[in-house]
Structure formats: C-alpha cells, structure tokens
Amino acid sequence: MAAATERYDVIVVGSGGGALTGAIVAAKHGLKTLMVEKGSMWGGSSSLSGGGMWIPNNPVSLAAGLQDSFEEALTYMETVIGDVGPASSRERKVAYLQNGPEVVRFLQGEGVQFVAAMEYPDYYPDKPGGKIGRCIEYAFFDRRKLGELGKSIRMAAELPMPFHSGEAHHLPKAFTTPKHFFKTVGILSRAAKRLTGQQLVGLGNAMVAQLMWVALRYGVTLWLNTPCRRILVEDGRAVGIEVLKDGKPLELRAGAVLLAAGGFDHNAEMRKTYHGIEAGWSVGNPDNTGDVIQQCMELGVDMALLDDAWWGAVSIEPSGQPYFILWERSMPHSIVVDQLGQRYTNESASYVDFGHAMLEQNQKTAGKAIPSWLIMESRHRNRYIFGMAMPRFTPKAYLESGYFIKADTLDELADKCGINRETLLATVARFNRMVEKGVDEDFGRGRTAYDHFYGDPTYPNPNLGKIERGPFYAVKLYPGDLGTKGGILTDEYARVLKDGVPIPGLYATGNCTASVMGRTYPGPGATLGPAVTFGYIAGKEMVKLLKGHEAA
C-alpha cells in the first residue's frame, strides 16, 4: 500500500538545539515548518547537555568584559584544530566564526536570554588566541510556559535546583574556601523556587525550552514518536522524507530538509565498527542510533570522522548508568593508572583529550587501559564531592556493589583491583615526589587555567596532591562520550555533500554531521555552538532557496 502524503515547506529531523534554531529561522520567514522527533521526548542530546555554547567574539561575553576578535578566534581554531579534512576546512571555520555572533544576536532579538560563563576557560587557554569566557549559557526558564510540551522535555534528572555549567565547578570545592562555599549555598538556595510553583530548568533543558518557546510562537509543529525511515531524493534533489507515524508509513514532501538527528551513540554495531568499543558507555541521548547517518550512507553521501566522538571518561554507577567523570579526576590526591599501574596522561586534561589518551594507551598496552582506574586517597574523599556523594560520605551501595574499591593500603588496593602492585607503588612514589616540587614533569598536570578550573585553589598546584594517606579508593573508568562527532559531510553553508557536490534542498547540523572542530574540543560548548550556528546557517539557506531572497 502506498504511503499517504503531506506537504510542508521545510521538514526538520530532530529536536535539539540545531534543529530548533533552523526551524525558527525558516518559520519566521513564513515557511511552513514541521519537526519530527523519533523519541517520546524532545530536546535530544542538547537537552541532556550542559547547555553552553562556545562562540568566540559573541555579544554576550563582549558585554561582560571579554576582549576577543574574529582574528584571535581563527588563530586559536587553526592552532588547536588544524586541518584534518574537509569537515574542519578553513571555509567552515570562517563560516562558524562569522555566523556564531550573528545567531546569538538573532536569538536575543527573539527574546532568548543568555548569561556569560566568564570564569570558564577555553580548553587550551595557553595556545595562541586562547581565552577565558567565550562560553555562553541560556538563562533559567520556567517550563510551564510551554504548556503540555513542557512536560515532555528530555531530562537527565529532576534536579532540585537549576544551575549553569559555568558555575558547576564551585560544587566540588564547596568545602575548600568561603568563596566556593557561599557560591554553592547560592546555587542550592534556588531549590526554594520550587515552593513558589515555578519549574525553572537550567543547563541544556533551559536551552531547548527557550528555543521551543520561540519556535512555537512562529507556528513550528512538532511530532513526537515519528522516526525518519528514508530520505527522499528525486533527480538528485531532496524532496522530503518518509516517516513512521502512528505505526503507518507517511511521505512528507518539502522544498528543503534539515537533518539534525544526533549521532550513533547507542548503535552497538556502528560503535564496534568505527570505534572498536561497546555502546553502553555513552551519556548521549539513548535514541541516538545513527538512523539518519545510515540513510545518508545508502544515498552515497560523503562521510567523515566516523571514528571519532566527543570522548570522556565515565564510570558505571551501581544503577548500571554511565556517569561522566570530570572534576573527580582533576582534584588533588588522585591519579589515573592503567591495569599495569602506569599513569599515561594529564588527569586534569579536557575530557576529549583524556578519552583519546585512554584509547591510545589501550592500543599500546594490548587492552590494559580499558578499564583504567581512578585512584583517590582519603583527603580526596574528605574534601570533594564525587558525583552526588558528599565529602566524608561514601554511600554504602558504592562499596557493596563494587563501584568503589576500598583498601587501607595501596598494596591491598592493587590486589583487589588486579593492578600490577610493584608498578603502581613505583608510579605513586614518583608522583608524590613531583607533588613536592609542585610540577608534573611527566604530563604537565596543573599547568593551565583549564586544569585549575577543576582544581583546589588552596593547594600550591591546584591539581596536585600526594597519594599517601589511607584509606584508598579506586573506581573503574571507561572511554565514554557525550555523543559521536562523525557522519554526514557538509560545506560552509550546511549543505549535505555527495562526491563533493551539494545535494539541493538537503542540509544537516549537529552530531549527525562531521564536526568543524575536527578531532578536538576547543572549549566548553564546542558541540552545541556549531550545532546551533550551522542550524542557523541552514535556516538562512533554506529561506534563500525557497523564498528567493536572503533571510532578513
């Protein structure tokens, strides 16, 4: 039986930040716009994220006092990203840096509110053009304003209070200095807003909620539980998609299609093929199974960076869920070793660099770095939060389940974890000597402002502390990620390419595409910044294609 047919001007596949931005631009210019979402909740990985956008030279940060320029940002991107193929071409970098500030001004004009994360450094602040304060975040938003749709935002957890990712570094340091204590008290005090009936959301939830608020104003329609099954291309041009709606196939015809459906975070076969790892370690949207990427492969679309991801260390909590390890490995009195007992990287490095290092060490040691071990001594547990575990309180479930391995001595800890005892003791002895000097001579831990962001300011080197006082704790670390970063290759106009030539009417943004950031992560929000920016570029291009004029 032939599929029924409906017609729109623009169809957007996905419902995260990039999808919403493209839909807003199209709908504002009078284009009948439909968003289709595979899941029963909307917002995608954007909604599960920290909600920050790394956009150099943006008006919010400049107004807050940042000194920045297009030239400095391009120098920085060229330095840290380089050229790893067409995804990170100079043309795409320039398009990103030119349109990033523009999309921020555009969204501000639509009533979207931002805050500047002025304390949050670029991940390589010591490199030419590096800065502190390029990340911006979305202001808290009362999701009741969205009516029924406010109930179906994809949420990682019902947090008792909203907060911004740029202020999260105060939480693990709450008991180190009065500054961090009172900052933390201020964050926790927001829980009182719940008593007034407000349903304020922060982080990625604030991002997608504000964008949806604008999209609804322009009449964008959202269909949940509507997976895209096929991209329709006729005579070399995209003419729509086929979806499954209410259990039945439906053809959706359109003048332009924007693909913003996420990566293949939870596709076991693709993860094994392209990354050589298991699929259960990603903290990305569980609905991200690479469907649209595979559909584009069937069309012969150009692909790039499929072997990469927005890597980071995760631990597997007693619930079986992966937990993204960030400050826990950066604070003093901790080290990370492989199963042979060797350190192999700067524990305070950015999460992508740390993930890459673990994967490389695993190859060098024939599988002895997955899992690795985060080793902490008593002062780490007594001073800093681990996940939701407060200092001096390690939940019984952590120990009984084996999530935390505890021992009175390093010898005992090595035996319990199966780590080479002699090598571990030698590694710790060398590390402790370097702590006395205040310099990590092996991997440079504590050298940059980014390292210090998740460090203890009361220490001479905020990231270095000896491993010597029991009890000791160990937690397994795996190479998880925030999502995959390879897939559909697009040009500087967000147009999908086949044999290097754009497919008319087909655009893409976000984690279903090969990232302009190449194989690295220049700063906080370097995933969402490009997703929104290239979603904006796609929106403008769709308006030009279908309206015959530039988007105003």
> Does residue 354 share a domain with residue 253?
no
Q: Which helix (H) or strand (E) holds 229?
A: strand 228-234
Q: Is the pLDDT of residue 162 over 70?
A: no
- Picking from 138, 170, 196, the residue at the C-terminal end of a domain is 196
Q: Which helix (H) or strand (E) holds 361?
A: helix 351-364
Q: Is the pLDDT of residue 520 over 90?
A: yes
> Does residue 353 share a domain with residue 270?
no
> Does residue 368 share a domain with residue 505?
no
Residue 538 belongs to what domain range?
1-155+202-308+485-552
> Does residue 493 share a domain with residue 442?
no
Bridging pattern class, strands 135-138 and 114-116 = antiparallel
Enter the pTM of the model. 0.94
Tell me the pLDDT tens digit for each residue of 366-384: 999 999 999 999 999 999 9
> Does residue 496 share a domain with residue 448?
no
Mean pLDDT, rounded, of the chain: 93
> 3-class DSSP state for residue 436?
helix
Q: Is the pLDDT of residue 159 over 80?
A: no
Q: Which helix (H) or strand (E) holds 478?
A: strand 472-484
* CATH label of the domain that carries residue 430: 3.90.700.10
Q: In 254-392, which ranges are E strands? A: 256-259, 303-304, 309-316, 322-324, 334-337, 372-376
Instruction: Read off the tokens for 99.
Output: 């349109």
> Does residue 473 share a domain with residue 340?
yes
Structural domains in the chain (count): 3
**Mean pLDDT along residues 65-88:** 96
> Does residue 414 share a domain with residue 456?
yes
User: In whole angstroms, what is the distance from residue 261 CA to residue 294 CA?
Assistant: 12
Q: What's 104's DSSP letter?
A: H
**Mean pLDDT along residues 209-223:** 97
pLDDT confidence bin for 169, thresholds 50/70/90: low
**Mean pLDDT along residues 80-85:** 93
> 3-class DSSP state for residue 87?
helix
pLDDT confidence bin for 130, thresholds 50/70/90: very high
- Picking from 451, 481, 511, the residue at the C-terminal end of a domain is 481
Task: Please name the residue that has the structure tokens 């069937």.
Answer: 298
- Min mean pLDDT across 110-114, 154-158, 442-446, 536-540 is at 154-158
**Mean pLDDT along residues 195-199:** 65
Closest C-alpha to 314, from 304, 305, 306, 322: 322
> Does residue 58 share a domain with residue 42?
yes
**Mean pLDDT along residues 197-220:** 90
> Does residue 241 share a domain with residue 372?
no
- Picking from 466, 481, 496, the residue at the C-terminal end of a domain is 481
Q: Is the pLDDT of residue 157 over 70?
A: no
Q: Are 64 and 252 in contact (CB under 8 A)?
A: no
Q: b or e along 281-296 (b: 16 or more beta carbons within 10 Å of the residue's beta carbon)?
A: bbbbbebbbbbbbebb
pLDDT at 1: 43
Amino acid at 415: D
Tell me which range, 72-76, 117-121, 170-174, is most confidently predicted by mean pLDDT. Answer: 72-76
> Does residue 167 share a domain with residue 260?
no
Tell me the pLDDT tens digit for each residue of 453-504: 999 999 999 999 999 999 999 999 999 999 999 999 999 999 999 999 999 9
> Does residue 419 share a domain with residue 332?
yes
pLDDT at 172: 74
* CATH label of the domain that carries residue 108: 3.50.50.60
> Does residue 505 share a domain with residue 370?
no
User: In whole angstroms, what is the distance from residue 68 CA to residue 134 CA?
Assistant: 8
Q: Is the pLDDT of residue 406 over 70?
A: yes
